[in-house]
Amino acid sequence: MMYAELYQYLLLHNKLSVPGIGTFLLQRKPAQSDFVNRQMKSPVYSIFLTQATETSSKNFFGWLANALAITDREAIIRFNDFAFDIYQRLTADDSIQWNGVGTLNKGPAGEVKLTAATAFSPETPVAAEKVIREKAEHMVRVGEEERSSTEMTAALTKAVTKKSYWWIPALIITVLAIGFIAWYFYTNGMDISSTGNNMRLIPEETEVVSGIAQ
């Protein structure tokens, strides 16, 4: 039989169609990061079976002939015999163990069912630690435009710098006002009357003529 060779073909090409059985597909689950263990988990592969079948291509028989060291014609004959043998065994309610693929059985409606083998990963996890680059430049979307993080940092810093000096003129005016008040009281003393009008009012003398003031 050619179970091992066909399993190898499935791993290489992700798909294997067997007449009367269905199409075996290799599904790949992408690698995932494991922050707790500081590693990157390798991709995981699993196999499932669909009822649809496709006609095997000439390239497939050429590959199979090369793997079995036979002619293309012999590869076609042996592959069809392989498919027919599986169909006959499943029709007789026999189960077929296919290493790496899983267990084949006949379903209640006559369809072929696959109990897939455990998902596997041909690679080992690799160490991975998160690298934080505080000043790494990246693109930032601002409205309809894209700007680099360096440009945005410079623009925001400039805006903050312009707004940070508004209090200086007010502080200068306050200091001058306090200085003037201190100088005034130092010169005129702390008497409250010093802040009022110091002019003396002298009443105007009037002439008296025959007892009547004019």
Q: Measured between alpha carbons, how far is 11 from 67 in angstroms, rounded to an integer?
A: 14
The pLDDT value given to residue 211: 47
Q: What is the pLDDT of residue 189?
A: 67
Task: Specify the pLDDT at position 127.
Answer: 57
Low-confidence ranges of the chain (pLDDT < 50): 201, 208-214
**Residue 192: what pLDDT?**
54
What are the CA-CA distances from residue 69 to residues 13, 18, 56, 177 (Å)? 20, 21, 19, 105
What pLDDT is attached to residue 152? 64
175-186 confidence digits (pLDDT tens): 888 887 877 777
Q: Give this prediction's pTM.
A: 0.54
Region of 75 (left: φ > 0; alpha: ψ -120 to 50; beta: rest) is: alpha
Contact call for residues 21 and 112 (beta carbons, < 8 A): yes
Predicted pLDDT of residue 53: 82
Neighbours of 26 (CB within 10 A): 16
pLDDT reported for residue 18: 94
pLDDT for the residue 52: 87
